[in-house]
Amino acid sequence: MTNRTSLSNIDVITLDEKGTIHKNVTLVVENGIITEIGNSENDQFGSTAVDCTNKVAMPGLVNSHCHSPMNMVRGWAEDLPFVEWLEAIWVAESGITPDDVYWAAALAAAEMIRSGTVAYNDKYFYMHRVADAVQESGLKAALTWTVFGMGEDTEVGSGLDETIDWIKELDETSKGQIKTYIGPHSPYLCPDDFLRKTVELAHELGKGIHLHVAETKAQVDQSIARYNLSPVQHLDKLGVFDLPDVTIAAHTLHVDDKDIEILVNKNVIVPHCPITYMKLAMPFPSIQKCVDAGVQISLGTDGPGSNADMDMFAVIRQTALIHKYQTVDPAMVSGDTALRMATQAGAKAVGMSDHGMLKVGAPADLILLDMNAPHLRPVHNIVANIVHCVKGSDVCDVMVNGNWLMWNRELKTLDEEQILYEAEKRAHKIVDRGKKQLRQYARD
Ligand SMILES: [Zn+2]
pLDDT in tens, 104-149: 999 999 999 999 999 999 999 999 999 999 999 999 999 999 998 8
Task: Tell me how far apart the alpha carbons of residues 22 and 159 are, in angstroms, rounded to a whole number.
Answer: 50
Nearest to 182 by CA among 150, 215, 218, 145: 145
**For range 357-364, the mean pLDDT:** 96
Enumerate residues 6+ apart whose C-beta is below 8 A from 121: 62, 63, 64, 65, 66, 141, 142, 144, 210, 248, 271, 300, 346, 349, 350
Average pLDDT over residues 150-172: 81
Model confidence band, residue 47 (pLDDT cutoffs 50, 70, 90): low
DSSP reduced 3-state for 141: strand
Name, in order, each residue with C-beta under 8 angstroms of 165's C-beta and a sequence gap of 6 or more: none
How far does the centroid of ligand 1 lie from the alpha carbon of residue 303, in Å? 6
Residue 342 CA to ligand 1 center (angstroms) comes to 16
- Ranked by mean pLDDT, the top range of 71-75, 118-122, 302-306, 349-353 is 118-122
- Per-residue burial over 350-365, b if 16 or more Cβ lie within 10 Å, else e, is bbbeebbbbeeebbbb
Distance 142 CA to ligand 1 centre (A): 14
Average pLDDT on 65-74 reads: 96
Average pLDDT in the chain: 93
Higher pLDDT, 3 or 323: 323
440 pLDDT above the threshold of 90: no
pLDDT at 360: 96
* Max avg pLDDT among 73-82, 142-151, 327-336: 327-336
Expressed in angstroms and rounded, the spacing between residue 275 Cα and the centre of ligand 1 is 12
In the chain, % helix, strand, coil (3-state, to 5) comes to 45, 25, 35
206: left (phi over 0), alpha (psi -120 to 50) or beta: left
Report how far ligand 1's centroid is from the alpha carbon of 185 (Å): 9
Given a contact cutoff of 8 angstroms between Cβ atoms, the answer to whether 431 and 71 are in contact is no
How far is the CA of 344 from the CAs of 16, 63, 324, 347, 358, in angstroms? 10, 11, 22, 5, 11
Q: What is the mean pLDDT of residues 376-397?
A: 97
Q: What is the CATH number of domain 61-349?
A: 3.20.20.140
Domain parsing of the chain, residue ranges: 4-59+356-411, 61-349
Separation of 236 CA from ligand 1 center, angstroms?
20
Interval between CA 98 and ligand 1 midpoint (Å): 20
> What is d(CA 323, CA 268) in angstroms, rounded to the nearest whole number?
22
Fill in the amino acid letter for 89.
Answer: I
d(CA 195, CA 249): 14
Instruction: Taking residues 325-334, report their average pLDDT.
Output: 94
State whether residue 239 is helix, strand or coil: coil
SS3 253: coil
Residue 431 pLDDT grade (very low, low, confident, very high; cuts 50, 70, 90): confident
The CATH T-level fold of domain 4-59+356-411 is Urease, subunit C; domain 1 (2.30.40)
Distance 50 CA to ligand 1 centre (A): 40
Gap from CA of 320 to ligand 1 centroid (Å):
20
What is the tens place of the pLDDT at every residue in 233-261? 999 999 999 999 999 999 999 999 999 99
Ligand 1 centroid to Cα of residue 67, in Å, is 6
Is residue 365 predicted with pLDDT exceeding 90? yes
The confidence band for 40, taking pLDDT boundaries of 50, 70 and 90, is: low
Cα separation values, 333 from 289, 363, 380, Å: 12, 27, 19
